[in-house]
Amino acid sequence: MSNTIVELGNKLEIAYEKFNFTEETKLLCRESAHQISKNLTTSRDIKKQTEFLKLSLTDRTEFLRFLAVTCEVADIFSIMNKEGLERGVYDDNYQKIHNFSVGLFDEIKLNDHRPIPKDKFQYFRQIVRCSLVSINEDYRIENFSDCIEKIQLLIQFVEEKLIISDFECLETLARLNYYLGKNQRKRGHTKQAEISYKQALVCLNEFAQYIRQGLALSLDPASSSDNERERYARRIQATCSKCAIVEVSRAWLFFDKGEYVAAEHSALASLTLLVGTEHLIIKNHALLVLGTIKRVNSTNFEEMEKSRSIFY
């Protein structure tokens, strides 16, 4: 694996952990996708991904980790996907990465009934993350039933085969449950979506506990470096931000059900989690929920005008 991919991947991962979604981050994302796609073909058959298979197991795992981060950031910018292509935002890396993701999901299905060797736990966790790339495209074209089926398979795979490996699987499970909840909500399965969002929060909270333990240990100057302490601090902040995103999604779910008190509580929880951060996109979504609730509950023009003040 080239040093360029490693350098770009590490920079992008730091930006992602900080939720630093600037134009510079977007450029990093595009360049990372370009460098990664050089190692891929347009085939959906992993056996034909010769450059990827030439890498050692460690390098393949790192390659997939950088691919997952790149695609997760690209999703936030709505680039490098079919939706972006339809809006004229052309990216020739999309097809290779999309097909590779489909092939990776097929690898999960092939190994669903096989034991996973311990030395491949991390490798398969990254395969799961990268499988979400093509599943997210199914979500965009409103193929919600297929998304639900595929995500449920991934959740079962992680829970049965990988959760014993280390705490990192908790973050992966949180992401899977979050996406599952999104698709269930779109299908009108509100009860199931509520359960999935709650499970995502449970996983993130457990994950945060492990990170806090690591941070506590890193405070001993004799046993850790400044970079390690900074990394733990970033990951705690990133986990809080991810919880805030789930809470906003829960708020809209409760709003759809007419449960305005619960929706308000989730929106306020999201804002609380974001105290001290500059994540304006998430904050504005939470404020939008609160403003919409006030507008719906308003009985006269004066009260409706008050609801506008939430945004100022």
Question: Could you read off the pLDDT of 184-210 as tens digits, one per residue?
Answer: 999 999 999 999 999 999 999 999 888
Highest mean pLDDT among 48-52, 152-156, 205-209, 226-230: 152-156
Phi/psi at 207 (5° precision): -60, -45
Residue ranges making up the domain that contains 65: 3-239
Specify the range with the lowest mean pLDDT, choosing from 34-38, 93-97, 303-307: 303-307
Q: Is residue 290 part of a domain?
A: no
> What pTM does this model have?
0.87
**Cβ neighbour number for residue 184 with a 10 Å cutoff:** 23
Mean pLDDT of the chain: 86
309 belongs to a structural domain: no
Highest mean pLDDT of the ranges 99-103, 219-223, 280-284: 99-103
- What's the helix, strand, coil split of the chain in %, to 5? 80, 0, 20
Higher pLDDT, residue 159 or 226: 159
In a domain, residue 298? The reply is no
- Asked whether the predicted pLDDT for residue 69 surpasses 60, the reply is yes
How many distinct structural domains can be found in the chain?
A: 1
C-alpha to C-alpha distance for 163 and 67, rounded to whole angstroms: 22
| Residue 288 binned pLDDT confidence (cut-offs 50, 70, 90) | very high
**Which tokens belong to 289?**
């929920």
Is residue 291 situated within a structural domain? no
Mean pLDDT throughout 46-53? 91
- Rounded distance, CA 101 to CA 29, Å? 17
Residue 300 pLDDT more than 70? no
Nearest Cα residue to 159 out of 138, 189, 180, 137: 180
Query: Would you state the pLDDT for residue 137?
Result: 87
pLDDT tier, 90 (very low <50, low <70, confident <90, very high otherwise): very low
Higher pLDDT: 82 or 229? It is 229
**Interval 266-289 mean pLDDT:** 89
**Residue 245 resides in a domain:** no
Residue 88's pLDDT is what?
46
What's the CA gap between 178 and 231, in Å, rounded?
24
Residue 38, in any domain of the structure: yes
Mean pLDDT of 224-246: 83
Residue 105 and residue 124 in contact, taking contact as beta carbons nearer than 8 Å: no
Among 23-32, 114-123, 176-185, 206-215, the range scoring the smallest mean pLDDT is 206-215
H or E segment and range at residue 245: helix 226-256
Q: How far apart are CA 32 and CA 207, in angstroms?
A: 27
| Cα 83 to Cα 1, 97, 245, distances in angstroms | 30, 15, 22
Q: For residues 126-133, give the mean pLDDT.
A: 94
The two three-digit tokens of residue 124, written as one number: 């398969």
**Longest CA–CA separation in the chain, Å:** 68
The pLDDT of residue 119 is above 60 = yes
Residue 140 in this model has a pLDDT that exceeds 70: yes
Q: Does the residue 76 lie in any domain?
A: yes
Phi and psi at residue 80, in whole multiples of 5°?
60, 40
For the cut 90, the answer to whether the pLDDT of residue 183 exceeds it is yes
Q: What is the pLDDT of residue 311?
A: 46
User: Considering the domain boundaries, does residue 311 fall inside one?
Assistant: no
Element (H, E) at 57: helix 57-77
Report residue 155 as tokens: 């959740």
